Amino acid sequence: MAMVYFVAVSLRTGLIGVGPLLPDITDDLSLSNTNASLLVALPPILMGIFAVPGGRLADMRGARLTITLGMIVVVLGGGLRAVAPGFLVLVLLTILFGAGIGICQPAMPRLGRNLMPTRMGIATGIFAAGFFTGAVVAASVTGPLFLSGDRVDDWRLPLGFWGALSALTLAAWLISLRFWSVPASPTVVRNTETSSTQPAGSWSPWRDRPTWIVAAIFGAQGLAYYILVAWLPSIYEEHGLNDNQIAILLAIFNMATFPAMVGLPILSDRIKSRRIPTLAASIIFLIATTGLALNPTGSPMQWIWPIGAGFGLAGLFGMGLLMPADTAKEGKTGQTAGMVLAIGYVASGIGPVIAGAIEDLTGSFDLALQLIPFVAVVTILLAFRAPPPRTVAPRHISSS
């Protein structure tokens, strides 16, 4: 699972690193806010679309091969963005980049279920920690280290850097494959609450109610998270904060995600409940985003709201990554994760576009920010229907 952590890091650096670059890209290429938001919205949409074939490929051909293919696409699409001659080419490469991430991600729950079948919370925590590390590093480092302000096209250097980092990760992944193998799929001992009467061969996550509940939770948090990732700097600037204050608040928002993203899935294993951590994250999400909507810069609560928002959203993200392994039939974990990620990331991609369009129409992000607490209410209602964890009986180690 160590290499899965580093792969997860590389899947977030080039993704989250675009946020701090948006103002420079917008100015350099003379884009509207709506057009600029596509550079943030397209990757999650493509991540969702390609999660479906990625999940199926992981079930049919194995998680290791699926991650390898996805990483190759990530390296090509992500790195070549740095030399895109114009907006159209940049959009096409962004589509390729998002597709690569979409292929990779459903394989991670599949691999985690096989490697750590009785500790899925810990397995999820490992690659969730990789997502966290990549997001925090990209958000914290991209601006201060790469944007000097001397050149209008300074945004190209960090994109090239994150692409090179992904290439190094791919090389390390390929080298590591010869040193470890994947256990056979575990035998699932089903809970009656989530069991289906369908035979495993005919079962589909698209017809499974518990899986749809997980997908809705994942989609709701993603829609809110990507609005904040894309536009929270602009929202704070709109309310009169300076660059240093904005940087500190964004760092607080990102740092608050780690304990929830990693800790809540692990906690859910310990207490044998997915609902309690999911509900707790949803309530914190509601309180914090209500505060952001009503008074985002009122001292001293301006420091509390980003902590709560980051914690709540990350907790829902971690639980959303974990629960497909609870609802999946045996041999269908990749497809189930792919379906959840598909629904979730397509919903995520809609968020920044809506927020950008609202700003273009009204001249303010206030309305978009005020819609987020309603999303939080939805996650609270869905949390009461979160599936319970499943117990498994591990099988023998195979050479696959």
Query: Is 229 among the domain residues?
Result: yes
Assign residue 74 the CATH number of its domain.
Answer: 1.20.1250.20
Q: What does pLDDT average to over the chain?
A: 85
Query: Is 112 among the domain residues?
Result: yes
Which amino acid, residue 270? R
For residue 56, what pLDDT is reported?
A: 92
Query: Is 94 among the domain residues?
Result: yes
- pTM for the model stands at 0.81
For residue 242, what pLDDT is reported?
A: 82
- Indicate if the alpha-carbon torsion angle 328, 331, 335, 337 is positive or negative: positive
Report the SS3 class of residue 107. Answer: helix
* Closest to 316 measured CA to CA, from 348, 351, 270: 348
- Domain of residue 299 covers 2-194+201-393
* Closest to 54 measured CA to CA, from 35, 73, 39, 31: 73
Total count of domains within the chain:
1
Q: In sequence order, what are the beta bridge partners of 188?
A: 392
For residue 192, what pLDDT is reported?
A: 46
Query: Is 400 among the domain residues?
Result: no
Question: Which residues, at least 6 apart from 197, have a Cβ–Cβ distance to it below 8 Å?
Answer: none
For residue 396, what pLDDT is reported?
A: 46
Query: Is 56 among the domain residues?
Result: yes
Structure tokens at 264: 């809540």
Contact 182, 114 (CB under 8 A): yes
Stretches where the chain sits below pLDDT 70 are 147-150, 152, 183-201, 391-400
Q: How far apart are CA 353 and CA 48, in angstroms?
A: 16
Report the SS3 class of residue 45. Answer: helix
Residue 374 per-residue DSSP state: H
Identify the H or E element spanning 78: helix 63-80
Query: Is 398 among the domain residues?
Result: no
For residue 265, what pLDDT is reported?
A: 92
Structure tokens at 75: 């390296």
Residues in the chain: 400
